[in-house]
Structure 1
Amino acid sequence: MKTVLITGCSSGYGLEVARHFLANEWNVVATMRTPRQDLFSQEPNLHILPLDVTDEGSIADAIEAAGPIDALVNNAGIGVVGAFEATPMSHIRKIFDTNTFGVMAMTQAVIPQMRERRAGVIVNVTSSVTLAPMPLAAAYTASKQAVEGFTGSLAHELGHFDVRVKLVEPGYAPTTRFAQNTPILVENLIPESYAGFAAPIFAQFARPALTTRESDVAEAVWNAVNDRSGTLRFPAGMDAQALARTN
């Protein structure tokens, strides 16, 4: 039985990805900052571990407890919605610590075992903002764009050792509550001078023409993990797929 380790499984995409792999009879290591068994039914091949991707000690403990890992899914992430002008650098650093450096740290931690076995796959979950940057998310977009460049380069580097590296690019999913599921508060990040600009954007967020379901992301991650071709990018959801066709 193959093993997948997934970060950020307490809600949204990560939770659905974990359930998808369980349904397909994989050994699943579901990680989250604060473990919650109640999110899952009792499964013999499910292992829930604490993990903070910004803490090197936490990463080392999780990797050791997981055992041999066939697939790593870097899903954990945080976001912020607001005018860049009003976003403190401390907030921006927190975003990069999780979204960018957390991905790099997790990846670096599993490379040795995959390289030695000459087998394995790493899937980095980014966002459709890398296909079409949206306003009021400059720092978030930058953190995800960095992961895109990192992933593309690493795919060449690790391909030499038969280790595959992939990208999944989810579209907009209101059910993931982008702004709410973050420790970075959006209050006070829309100055009065930006209010008129921001209002129609937030209205569009509330009534998107196309949306991405969590199951779309789970399916895209599953396809990426099992893909043996040279395909790097897997847009997830109707909106992301539409954007990918125009880029």
Structure 2
Amino acid sequence: MKTILITGCSSGYGLETAQFFLSKQWNVIATMRTPPEGILPRSGALRILRLDVTNEDSIAQAVKSAGHIDVLVNNAGIGVVGAFEATPMSHIRKVFETNTFGVMAMTQAVIPQMRARRSGAIVNVTSSATLAPMPLAAAYTASKQAIEGFTGSLAYELNHFNIQAKLVEPGYAPTTQFAQNTSVRVENLIPEAYAAFAGPIFETFAKPALTTREIDVAEAVWRAVNDTSGTLRFPAGADALALSRAA
């Protein structure tokens, strides 16, 4: 049985991916900042670890406790929607700490054991916002676009050691409550001058033509982990697939 460590498993894509890999008879290490009770079925194949990807000591302790890791899925992330002009730099830094530097720190922490074994896979979950510009999401898109470039370069770097680096690019899933897991409320980031522009965009968010389900992301992670073709990007969800074809 192979072992997969997934960050950000308290809800959404991470939780669904953990459940999916458990159903495939994998050993799953589900990590989150504050593990709630009862979110995953009790199983000998499951371990739940406390992990804050913005804290180096927390990362080191979690990776040490995890032991052998065949696959790392960097899923933990936070969102922000609003006019860039009104987004505090402190909040932008918080988004990058989780979405960008947290991914890099986790990746650095697991590479040595994978390199020593000359096997492994690292899957970084980004966003369909990297496939096509999305208004009112400049800071968020930048944090995810950085990981796109990072992973593309890393794939070449680690291929020498038979370690795969992959991207999963989910579309918009209303059930993930995008931008609600931050300390700044969305409406505070829409100045009056932007109100007329932002209104129709938020209406589209409320009733999107195409969306992504959590299972779409879990299945895309599965395809990425098992890919032998050298494919780097795996769009997840009907909307992400449409954007990837149009790109």
Please report the TM-score for the alignment, with normalisation by the length of structure 1.
Answer: 0.99
In 2, Cα distance between equivalents of 1:25 and 1:182: 34
Name the amino acid aligned to 1:175: T
Which residue of 2 is the match for residue 34 of structure 1?
Answer: 34
> Matched residues in 1 for 2:77 and 2:110: separation?
19
Paired residue secondary structure (1:141): helix
Q: Deviations over 1:72-113 (max 9, x none)?
A: 000000011110000010000000000000000000000000
1:245 is aligned to 245
The structural deviation recorded for 1:157 is 0.1
State the distance in 2 between where 1:32 and 1:105 align. 15
Q: Give the 5 Å matches for 1:44-83.
A: 44-83=44-83
Structure 2 CA distance for aligned equivalents of residues 205 and 186 of structure 1 = 13
Corresponding residue of 1:2: 2
Inter-partner Cα distance in structure 2 for 1:203 and 1:142: 23
Question: How far is the alpha carbon of 1:181 from its aligned partner?
Answer: 2.6
**Alignment partner of 2:30: what SS?**
strand
1:9-41, CA deviations, whole angstroms, 9 ceiling, x for partnerless residues?
A: 000000000000000010000000001231011
| Corresponding residue of 1:193 | 193
The alignment partner of 1:94 has SS state of helix
- Paired residue for 1:147? 147
> What residue in structure 1 maps to residue 208 of structure 2?
208
Give a deviation string over 1:168-217, Cα, whole Å, max 9, x none.
Answer: 00001011110223333223210000000000000000110001000000
Cα deviation per residue 1:26-60 (whole Å; 9 max; x = unaligned)?
00000000012310111111000000000000000
Superposition deviation, residue 234 in structure 1: 0.2
Whether the 8 Å CA contact 1:37–1:48 is kept in 2: the answer is: no
* TM-score (norm: length of structure 2): 0.99
How many residue pairs get matched?
247
Q: Secondary structure at the match of 1:204?
A: helix
Correspondence 1:221 to 2:221: yes
Other structure's SS at 1:188 match? helix
**Alignment partners' CA distance in 1, 2:93 and 2:181:** 17
**SS state of the match for residue 186, structure 2?**
coil
